[in-house]
Amino acid sequence: MLSSLKDFVTLNNGVKMPKLGLGLFKVEDGAVTINAIKYAVDAGYRSLDTAAIYRNEKSVGVGLKECGQPREEIFVTSKLWNAEHGYDSTLKAFEVTLADLQLDYLDLYLIHWPLPKNDKYIATWKAMEKLYKEGRIKAIGLSNFEPEWIQRVLDECEVLPAVNQVECHPYLQQCEVFDYCKKSNIQMQAWSPLAQGKIFEDARLKKIAEKYGKTVAQFVIRWILQRGIITIPKSIDQNRIISNADIFDFEIDEQDMQEMKSFDENNRVGPNPYEFYVV
């Protein structure tokens, strides 16, 4: 049941994670990031998603201090960048992230990309397990991991990933990853739920959204949440941040949920994790 921005998912280790959050991908460091956080928190958001490579973690830290909510009320996610894979490098990178955010702990820390040919994600995960066991991270997870790489983590490591954050939107529905994660008790999370704006050009989506008296963005965000996937639409505009959360007063019927399956083209707007090795 989806009722408000206070809705959360209980992860496999008991940690409660909000179903809807604010994505801060490539949001400009400084006032832009700080203001976006304030807009979101004022609107009721309680989840923020950043990453070392976004280069705005210091501003996220300022935004957290100035947003008017206690630290424990805000779920903060960050991610380890590709250049820092490996046991010792992960531990060092985490310290930098925590210092930049001015926090004592993270709610969720993810391996940003798997880099399978580099073959360091197991060592990286074991370092994250250490931080998790020390209580410095409430939950640890993966990002952009395909089932074969997740399975290796399950086979060779101790802590079950709590989350797998992947690109997911109407044109890349990630059904195989979703089914695998559900079977493995791993929560799937969608990045780029609006397909970097591609959805706004789709007349078919406009027609379905109009049926519910909603914008295309509102309809798609609701559709993702109704699939059981948590998500983090990005915006720096106050009105759009508020609008993106106006999705709790309607429910998409089963016929339209089924109709949405026809939009899946296995078409990415972001990198392919089998090929992405930028450091």
- Tens of pLDDT, residue by residue over 3-42, are 999 999 999 999 999 999 999 999 999 999 999 999 999 9
The pLDDT-based confidence of 1 (bands split at 50, 70, 90) is: confident
The fold for domain 8-263 equals TIM Barrel (3.20.20)
- Spatial neighbors of 204 by CB under 8 A, at least 6 apart, are 263
CA–CA distance, 267 with 270 (Å, rounded to integer): 9
pLDDT at 228 over 90: yes
- How much is the pLDDT for 247? 98
- How much is the pLDDT for 260? 98
The domain locations on the chain are: 8-263
What confidence tens digit (pLDDT) does each residue in 38-68 have?
A: 999 999 999 999 999 999 999 999 999 999 9
Buried b (16+ CB within 10 A) or exposed e, 196-225: eeebeebeebeebbeebebbbbbbbbbbbb
Over range 234-241, report the average pLDDT: 98
Mean pLDDT of the chain: 98
Residue 265 has a CB neighbour count (10 Å cut-off) of 10
What confidence tens digit (pLDDT) does each residue in 138-174 have?
A: 999 999 999 999 999 999 999 999 999 999 999 999 9
- How much is the pLDDT for 138? 98
- How much is the pLDDT for 50? 98
Helical H runs in 71-156?
Answer: 87-101, 121-133, 147-156
pTM of the entire structure? Answer: 0.98
What residues act catalytically?
A: 54
> If we measure between CA atoms, which residue out of 166, 141, 225, 235 comes closest to residue 197?
235
Over range 225-249, report the average pLDDT: 98
User: Quick one: tokens of 15?
Assistant: 């940690």
